[in-house]
Structure 1
Amino acid sequence: MTDRRRVILESAARLIARRGVRGLRVTELAAEAGVSTALVYYYFKDRSGILRSALAFIGDRADRYTAAATDPAGAAGPAGPRALLERMLLLEFQELPEVRENSTAWGELRAHSVFDPGLRAELAAAGAAWTAEVADLLRAACPGAPGAAATAAAERLTALLEGLSVRWLSGLLPAHHARDLLRAAIEVEAGRLAPERVPVLG
């Protein structure tokens, strides 16, 4: 990705987070990025292209700031799949401008997709990839769990995370409480997926 394209996408994410999708104007985007409107159109063709690219950029940025969590030899040290899953999901509640901006922009794009079928398809694909990643970690943490059950658990966890994120971002829920609620939900879902223990008969 060229530096100018990245700057435009960073600016788009910032404007979407601040003003919503409907508030995104190409002239304002160009001014925010310090480029001409012609250059914005050169890279993205039209407003729909900007939105689709911004969605992909937000997803890639989230992958970067959660990558250390899913690296078994990452900064936090080796860990099993359950711990990796918890780390990855809890990193969505970091008190960092980039994370807050990402979460806010994702929510704005999700809300706008109700009225934009093209964006809805892109968002569904991004959501499905995220759910699949969570389901893979759940299956690794709970060997023998049926695939459909792990996918359903992943859907519940990602939906809960999105709801908690909205409450956190709007100041209705402190980050530490959101993390506690998510940890408890992971515990419940992993418990449901774990095979029943057979009692030892003496």
Structure 2
Amino acid sequence: MVSFDPKADLVHYLQRAREALLWKLDGLSDYDVRRPLVPTGTNLLGLVKHVAGVEAGYFGLTFGRPFPEPMAWVDDDAEDNADMWATESETREQIVDLYRRVRAHGDRTIQELPLEATGRVPWWPAESNEVSLHYILVHVTAELNRHAGHADIVRELIDESVGVRAGHSNLPPGDRDWWVAYRERLERVARLSLRD
């Protein structure tokens, strides 16, 4: 279907990125959604917490519509990386529910303002912080897709589950043996580069 509504197109891709990220938590234990599986500590629940702050800022403060709930991890005096992991007292349900409320708040901003509406990103340099809603929709969608990609890798490290959404992996239809052989082939080719 051909769309002639730029805002609807932007919102469509924003929603797909949001859903892809949340879907990565499905079916996992609380331990698995918190596990830091790469040297920088990236974990699934932390990614959701991070994007809650991202969306609250870009679709809230930027357009003079601050999200009404405090998020201590985005304050100037917050510990470094406080937005990238869930503390012992923060549950999966709390963070996911917060993110859903942030999304609803952002959706109201998107719905109520035209793409040409301007705002200011307070944490960007003054000479480049005036933006349009159109620009912020593209920026946030790109950031969410980046983090959904992080989540895809982390989820694969947990249980080898991959894909962009339920029932759609976007990968060749190989079975486990095919993927093992494929990976071994790539490893052999990579090792050949050590000879140079």
Assess same fold via TM > 0.5. Answer: no
Structure that is richer in helix per residue: 1
Give TM-score scaled by structure 2 length: 0.26
Give TM-score scaled by structure 1 length: 0.26
